[in-house]
Structure 1
């Protein structure tokens, strides 16, 4: 059976190590459409970035599920309570290891003036729309949907514990070796996949998802067919139905061609 809805994580999954799409992506997108399937980017990246990457795209799961787009319209966003944003900022102020905080809204992401070039280089990969402010506390009540923290020395080792202690009721996801994301309770890519499938009238057993890191865990757990990358986190590989070749070898393309082949009909 060919999955009708196929969710694709970006970094470490669909994109190569330089952050580029596979050269055959748009060919595969057309093949999926002919087979009655849609490919949906499902990323921690912001919506503005995904729309720039996929100018022909109409459906997106952005900000780890905090923003859902169907037929090119935002059909759902979930905000973090301002008190939770303030609590997280307070906790992060006690972290002595160098780190950079990004406060995300559906339209833009905020960073503080004076953010270093190394951090900005990393942040600009994921946040096309970026606004600098003198104090993040001043925008803590402006509809924040996600807090992202960049820590070059390791997000899990240095940032996760104080954040989890500060906002234990909300979703804290280790989204990469140097990134940690905070979303409201009940927000993750898996819940977003459920909502997207319901919107287009596709049973969950007819969905598939590709992922590589811990912020993809709920996504793979929810999908009818779970595909983890060979370069992925062991916890994802443990729940996967299929292990794809690594992203450096365009493993998503390889498995997509198999899933979309006429023999699967």
Structure 2
């Protein structure tokens, strides 16, 4: 089968450990397009943090943002959006506001932080994004996601306590060593990829998806070919049909060359 679309995660997959895209990866994306195959990204990042990479890679088709909560067209803006349920939003905010865990909220291209904590500094040093200060993290309650920053094992434990206390199921996923993302019910990269396939009018079997972390699992399972980079979590590697070199060794470029050369598909 000839693959028609390649979708890649950013952090830990296309980006190296310094959050850069190598020249080899950029050149491979250009060659893939010239071969008539579409290319886009699927990331937990929102519009502001993903925007520079969309521009750098020359992506002119919809991208999957907020772990599937938004399909974003660089020319038209959001073409599909899911916001967090307000009752869940407030439950999470109230549960974590006095903890050591940093709370970051997102609405499209805006990033909000209230009461800077040491863990917020960890996020800001790594991501280098502009944000808006709030007096209270609940001030903006129509958001795409909540990012909990810090000790993820503690955040998961606290989330389980919240679910046990309230009986409310909360959709959350680890996207990085220090990040736990809370997203709308039913949202995932896999569902985002399903929506993108509907928009593009293509079959899932014609899609290649590549990632490294557990928030990539659903899209790797959904795609016709799921691929893991060598540095991926073991659960991702077990689910993938192919493992390529690590993010620091141009694993995406390796994959794209294989597709272009007809060694895959």
Structure 1 length normalisation: TM-score? 0.90
Say yes or no: does 1:31 pair with 2:31.
Answer: yes
Q: Counterparts of 1:96-107 in structure 2 under 5 Å?
A: 98-107=100-109
CA distance in 2 between counterparts of 1:20 and 1:138 reads 33
Q: Which residue of 2 aligns with 1:137?
A: 138
Task: Tell which deviates more after alignment, 252-261 or 71-80.
Answer: 71-80
How far 1:105 sits from its partner (Å)? 0.8
Q: Secondary structure at the match of 1:175?
A: strand
Q: Deviations over 1:30-87 (max 9, x none)?
A: 2222222111111111112212222122221111111112363211110111111110
Q: Given that residues 194 and 204 in structure 1 are in contact (C-alpha distance below 8 angstroms), is that contact kept between their aligned partners in structure 2?
A: yes
Q: Given that residues 190 and 218 in structure 2 are in contact (C-alpha distance below 8 angstroms), is that contact kept between their aligned partners in structure 1?
A: yes
How far 1:26 sits from its partner (Å)? 3.0
Alpha-carbon spacing, 1:129–1:4, altered in 2? closer, same or farther (3 Å): farther
CA RMSD of aligned residues (A): 1.9
Structure 2 length normalisation: TM-score? 0.90
How far 1:199 sits from its partner (Å)? 1.0
CA distance in 2 between counterparts of 1:202 and 1:223 reads 11
Say yes or no: does 1:161 pair with 2:157.
Answer: yes
Q: Counterparts of 1:241-252 in structure 2 under 5 Å?
A: 241-252=241-252
Q: Given that residues 49 and 128 in structure 1 are in contact (C-alpha distance below 8 angstroms), is that contact kept between their aligned partners in structure 2?
A: yes
Q: Secondary structure at the match of 2:236?
A: helix
CA distance in 1 between counterparts of 2:160 and 2:70 reads 22
Q: Which residue of 1 aligns with 2:86?
A: 82
Question: Which consecutive residues of structure 2, in runs of 5 or more, have no partner in the other structure?
Answer: none
Residue correspondences, number: 257
CA distance in 2 between counterparts of 1:191 and 1:14 reads 21
Q: Deviations over 1:162-216 (max 9, x none)?
A: 2244354332101111100011111011001011111111100000111101111
Q: Secondary structure at the match of 2:139?
A: helix
Q: Which residue of 2 aligns with 1:70?
A: 73
Q: Secondary structure at the match of 2:31?
A: helix
CA distance in 2 between counterparts of 1:226 and 1:241 reads 5
Q: Counterparts of 1:230-245 in structure 2 under 5 Å?
A: 230-245=230-245
Q: Counterparts of 1:140-151 in structure 2 under 5 Å?
A: 141=141, 143-151=142-150
CA distance in 2 between counterparts of 1:160 and 1:32 reads 39
How far 1:94 sits from its partner (Å)? 5.7
Alpha-carbon spacing, 1:114–1:178, altered in 2? closer, same or farther (3 Å): closer
